[in-house]
Chain A
């Protein structure tokens, strides 16, 4: 798991530019599924055929980034955020582009640091002129944090744990999944960070009986943290609500039941802001019951995101148990009243 997580974390793949991370994940899972394919928006689908319930599991593989909007005469790159980026976190960061070009984030002269905005920042790739910069970078290219993943005890620090941690869990679960009658669609989704876009269209394509997202969530166990009852290392969470979805109560019950039966530690999660792929999944067509398994993660959207390896291992167990149990859809979701 450690090595897989490190590899996924370090791979380049901002929203809209998921080709590299998609290739890496595909290599990991292609021998364990019946079929893999991609679509025009960059989603990666891996299908395990079956005759039972059609279950979609989404883990978004995109990470936040910086898109180049302008190259000035001296070769400095102006950029906008792709996903939620804090200018304060960006200051002094090393960044990397798809082709391996690297740069550092610089700042215009500023009187007050709390007035720092993204417009005041630029990327310096060491170019001396516009033409020099253009040899490596064109407008529209996207950079990500450049950071190695470090293992500290049972925890891992790195960039893009949001949501390569979820990807690692889904990859492992697919690799280890025993024979099941369920038809499982693992979807490594694109463009989650810019508005749950990959999952919206992939759900429409698949039209599953139910959907599950595997993503990271915030925690409330650090000094002066926001009020939240989720801690690192106490197990994956079963999400109840965030800004994008109220998880289907029956699915929440089912996940808790399975966790208890298999003695997997878990926590309930209510996230007051932020969303996840389940938000798009459950609104598709006539509505698709959706739930979320989250990996607790500290320092979200920084290059120092931290997750706990036990939480990941337990999430894999929970996901495998859920996917391999026969799902009697009519029993869980009684539809027709009379």
Chain B
């Protein structure tokens, strides 16, 4: 299962090589052209010269850590790559650097903490990666300054057609885009697996500049907060209720014709869908829609509980429905479902 391999691959922002190779290998035979750029975005093209030119983007990178220093003892000082809640870090297993060295994230044992320390969040300055070495010299042989670390977690089936694992944000989206590339659409399909989304939508902007598409579709993974203790209005999305459509976030507002097209497509194909009930954070669509003289963009997302942690959950029906919806949107665009030029 491609999604499983994608999820288990290691690829923090700026270090997407493993994911890129995996996708390249999986998809090269299905497309007409494969290229990369200076940042590491992976472009796969199909239907060269057809109209309209459509960019479909899914980011490859995941949140992670970066090694910034050594303690004399050989413990590694780290900083976060992308946004991670410090409180998730303690006692997790990570893999570090090109050789995927194993390490664990340690913190002072609870027995040794004073009572007031125990109630406080453990922040990243009190955490470190332990390789099991005994000195800085030993650590320096295994790990370099600037090496990336990511959580390690196997994908596991669970509950009612769900998966547990890490980095579903956004390998689940990558897997959808990979499936789309195996199909044929009556348009010029420019798939881009983008880099560095988690550190500020860095890859998608240059990709949109290079492709200059008529329209863009971003396939993402978004938070599902449908858990005990949270109110329905604050769910963001609900696991199992289908792909989520973004109305607005900090970087983007969905144009009315995009909302209409996506909603009509879902209804026509009887695909369940929901709206993302959060208007903050951002996706690649934010930067794509502001590239050149504006690129009409849409975002659909797979709901994911406990996002940005090594133990998140997605529902495979949601994943299938996101694929169906994306396929439906591309077909609708191919059939002229969007006004693509300014109207006089």
Chain A contact residues, CB within 8 Å of chain B: 15-17, 36-42, 67, 69-70, 72, 78, 80-82, 119, 139-140, 191, 194-195, 197, 200-202, 204-205
Residue B125, interface by CB 8 Å: no
Q: Are A41 and B255 in contact (CB under 8 A)?
A: yes
Residue B50, interface by CB 8 Å: no
Interface size on B, residues (CB 8 A): 28
Question: B342 touches which one: A15, A38, A72 (CB < 8 A)?
Answer: A38
Q: How far is the CA of A78 from the CA of B247 in the complex (A)?
A: 14
Q: Are A72 and B232 in contact (CB under 8 A)?
A: yes
Q: How far is the CA of A39 from the CA of B248 in the complex (A)?
A: 19
Instruction: Kindly list 7 other residue pairs between chains A and B, CB separation below 8 angstroms, not including A16-B255, A201-B292.
Output: A37-B343, A41-B255, A69-B277, A69-B278, A200-B290, A202-B294, A204-B292
Q: Are A140 and B293 in contact (CB under 8 A)?
A: no
Q: How far is the CA of A80 from the CA of B247 in the complex (A)?
A: 11
Max count, chain A CB within 10 A of own CB: residue among B247, B251, B339: B247
Q: Are B256 and A17 in contact (CB under 8 A)?
A: yes
Question: Using an 8 Å CB-CB cutoff, how does the interface string of B309-344 with A read, 1 for contact, 0 for none?
Answer: 000000000000000000000000000000111111
Chain B contact residues, CB within 8 Å of chain A: 232-234, 247-248, 250-251, 253-256, 259, 275, 277-279, 289-290, 292-294, 296, 339-344
Q: How far is the CA of A245 from the CA of B234 in the complex (A)?
A: 36
Q: List 19 A-B contacts (CB under 8 A).
A: A16-B253, A16-B256, A17-B256, A37-B344, A39-B294, A40-B339, A40-B340, A41-B294, A42-B255, A69-B279, A70-B232, A70-B233, A82-B279, A119-B234, A139-B247, A140-B254, A191-B253, A204-B293, A204-B294
For A200, the chain B residues whose CB sits under 8 A away are 290
Number of A-B contacts (CB under 8 A): 79
Q: How far is the CA of A81 from the CA of B250 in the complex (A)?
A: 11
Q: Are A16 and B277 in contact (CB under 8 A)?
A: no
For A38, the chain B residues whose CB sits under 8 A away are 342-343
Q: How far is the CA of A205 from the CA of B343 in the complex (A)?
A: 15
Q: Are A69 and B259 in contact (CB under 8 A)?
A: no
A121 to chain B, nearest CB (A): 11
Q: Are B294 and A67 in contact (CB under 8 A)?
A: no
Q: How far is the CA of A191 from the CA of B250 in the complex (A)?
A: 12
- Which partner residue on chain B sits nearest A80 by CB separation? B279
Q: Are B275 and A69 in contact (CB under 8 A)?
A: yes
For A201, the chain B residues whose CB sits under 8 A away are 290, 292-294
Q: Are A40 and B342 in contact (CB under 8 A)?
A: yes
Q: Which 3 A-B pairs have the closest CB atoms?
A: A201-B294, A205-B293, A80-B279
